[in-house]
Amino acid sequence: MKRILLIVGGGIAAYKACELVRLIRKAGHSVTCVVTAGGQHFVTPMTLAALSENQVYTTLWDLKDEAEMGHIQLSRAADLVAVAPATADLLAKMAAGIADDLATTLLLATDKPVLAAPAMNVRMWQHAATQRNVATLRGDGVTVLEPDEGPMACGEFGPGRLPEPEAILRAIEAALAPSSGRLKGKHVLVTAGPTHEPIDPVRYIANRSSGKQGFAIAGALAALGARVTLIAGPVALPTPAGVERIDVETAREMAAAVDAALPADAAVMVAAVADWRTGDAAGQKIKKGDTAAPALTLVENPDILAGLAHSAHRPRLVIGFAAETERVVEHAIAKRARKGADWIVANDVSGDVMGGDANLVHLVTESGVESWERLAKADVARRLAERIADAL
């Protein structure tokens, strides 16, 4: 039995929260409801109290409630916080960290997984501000479901309908599953981010890798209980909870750090390692002077993935990434063989993947190619971590 804290926002879809409460209980979990001021226009606290057989909370400023169960405690007593319907306003406040009523205060104070099921007018959903907020929330690790598409209460048609309560329940149960510790006792190496190859003390060669996908994978593996060593190129990202991070600059430093972190049960090489470095980085800043522009002589960097896959200390499971801009799967199949990896996660980086929050990937293994739907990077990470747990 899990404890769900359900926040009911102010939209016409709030009536479906009643059905969700019923389904959550039928699945054997308990549910405590918080209804926003807007939500109370569509569904009464009395209805939710009767269906949940639990006290319903509506305000921050109730002396009796606060004395019995402080709001911080309320936000942490649950195993998961679900927001349904998540209105455009609630998503915006969550993304900005605003805490101006009970619901938003609980959302800011919680240390538990948060899942939001959006429902709003199609234009509001498609508005750049809402899409930006959703991307921010996903980047923060919040599971934001895609709204359903169809005719809406306001008479328009498109994405914006609350997902069916059955689908929300399935998503809640999936979000609760990972804390199972399936990777306890396993050591997993993850490389992430770009590498910087110096030209002189102030200039370098780099690429557009943000490190987001690799960091998300490291976090997802740690959430499954693995000991994770994350070897990160220069990126400005917070270290995921429970992960040991080693910062490096160049490909050669990354190769050495990988070597030093062995042995490992699995390695996930997500870094966009620079293929070349300058043959002889200048010791002093190169001056413009009056000579012609300097020619850079490039030499190839060590292939960290191939080196690891062919080493005596090869982890049982070696996973590479393949960033491609064309013939994605074909290149990935060739790359898997060439590098000696067990799996290649191929992604099409011709669009806005680099630096973005979503990813479209194909998993290439010995037994074939699996194409995943477009997912938030956090969801790609969770799914890959589960697959790694299956394999180990």
Q: Which of 271, 333, 353, 363 binds ligand CTP (CB under 6 A)?
A: 271
* Residue 293 to residue 283: CA distance in whole angstroms: 17
Note the Cα 139 to chain centre separation in Å: 6
Both tokens of 284, joined, read: 């002093």
Provide the minimum distance between the beta carbon of 273 and ligand CTP in the complex, in angstroms, as a whole number: 4
Q: Which of 304, 328, 354, 378 binds ligand CTP (CB under 6 A)?
A: 304
Query: Contact between 384 and ligand CTP (CB under 6 A)?
Result: no
Of residues 16 and 331, the one with the C-beta less far from ligand CTP: 331
* Residue 392 to residue 386: CA distance in whole angstroms: 10
Q: 33 an active-site residue?
A: no
- Which is catalytic among the residues 37, 72, 96, 154? 154
Provide the minimum distance between the beta carbon of 269 and ligand CTP in the complex, in angstroms, as a whole number: 4
Query: Contact between 269 and ligand CTP (CB under 6 A)?
Result: yes
Of residues 142 and 271, the one with the C-beta less far from ligand CTP: 271
* Residue 337 to residue 340: CA distance in whole angstroms: 5
CB neighbourhood size of 334 (10 A): 14
Query: Contact between 275 and ligand CTP (CB under 6 A)?
Result: yes
Q: Which of 32, 301, 347, 359 binds ligand CTP (CB under 6 A)?
A: 301
Of residues 125 and 321, the one with the C-beta less far from ligand CTP: 321
Which ranges in the chain belong to alpha helices (H)? 15-26, 45-52, 63-68, 71-76, 88-96, 102-109, 122-126, 128-139, 165-176, 212-223, 251-261, 304-309, 328-339, 377-391
Q: Which residues pair with residue 232 across a beta bridge?
A: 192, 247
149 in the Ramachandran plot: left (φ > 0), alpha (ψ -120 to 50) or beta? Answer: beta
* Total of chain residues touching ligand CTP, rule CB under 6 A: 14
Provide the minimum distance between the beta carbon of 126 and ligand CTP in the complex, in angstroms, as a whole number: 33
User: Residue type for 74, please?
Assistant: L
Provide the minimum distance between the beta carbon of 169 and ligand CTP in the complex, in angstroms, as a whole number: 37
Site for ligand CTP in 179-218 (CB under 6 A): 191
Provide the minimum distance between the beta carbon of 275 and ligand CTP in the complex, in angstroms, as a whole number: 5
Q: Return the ∠ at Cα 238 (arms to 217 and 199), rounded to 5°.
A: 90
Q: Which residues pair with residue 298 across a beta bridge?
A: 278
Return residues touching ligand CTP (CB under 6 A).
191, 251, 269, 271, 273, 275, 301, 303-305, 320-323
| Active site (catalytic) residues | 154
